[in-house]
Amino acid sequence: MPLIHRIHRRPLLLHPPLVSAAAALLIAAFVTDYMYYATALMQWANFSAWLITGGLAVALVAAILLLIDVLLGHTGLLHRLEFTGLVFVALLSIFNAFVHSRDAWTSVIPQGIAISAVVAILLAAMSFRGWAVTAARVRTQGDKP
């Protein structure tokens, strides 16, 4: 029996931290939409537009890192519910970015805040299952490192 045993660890997935960062930005957009609704200060609507754009940019980087995780073989099976939910949230957020590109009050009220609320609720519900769209691939004794 060898003195040193090979330790098998799960590979580090690259995409989950950026998925959660994108979710935080998109949830914050709902908060700034509400602040605009409550105060009518245009800067809150500007913040919302920037947060949605930033959330979508970070989500794009997360999607690229997910592809890298898949290509490197670090992932196991795809979690279909999380993946479908995040794709749906991204599509809603793209539409929301167009809504927020309008002028003044119509950039947020009524469609912008409603879409932001739906996105925030979906992301909050999905957060309880974690942000990994895939499971980390577990290596077995026969796998090469």
Neighbours of 74 (CB within 10 A): 17
Find how far residue 143's CA is from the centre of its chain. 32
Q: What does the pLDDT read at residue 46?
A: 95
Q: What does the pLDDT read at residue 145?
A: 52
Q: 78-114 burial by CB neighbour count: b if 16+ within 10 A, else e?
A: ebeebeebbeebbebbeebbebbeeeeeebbeebbbe
- Spatial CB neighbours of 90, under 8 Å, sequence gap ≥ 6: 56, 59
Side-chain half-sphere of 24: how many Cα atoms within 13 Å? 8
pTM over 0.75: yes
pLDDT band at 134 (very low <50, low <70, confident <90, very high): confident
Per-residue pLDDT averaged across 4-8, rounded? 55
Return phi, psi of residue 134, to 5°. Answer: -130, 165
- The CA–CA distances, whole Å, from 35 to 31, 40, 48, 83, 140 equal 6, 8, 10, 30, 52
Element (H, E) at 135: strand 134-136
pLDDT band at 81 (very low <50, low <70, confident <90, very high): confident
Q: What does the pLDDT read at residue 70?
A: 87
108-129 pLDDT per residue, tens? 989 999 999 999 999 999 888 7
Q: Rounded to a whole number, what is the distance in angstroms from the first to the last CA of the chain?
A: 20
Does the pLDDT at position 3 exceed 70? no
- The CA–CA distances, whole Å, from 82 to 12, 19, 26, 87, 123 equal 19, 11, 16, 9, 10
**Percent of residues, the chain, with pLDDT higher than 90:** 58
Per-residue pLDDT averaged across 35-51, rounded? 95
Tokens of 114: 């409603």
Q: What does the pLDDT read at residue 26?
A: 97
- Mean model confidence pLDDT for the chain: 87
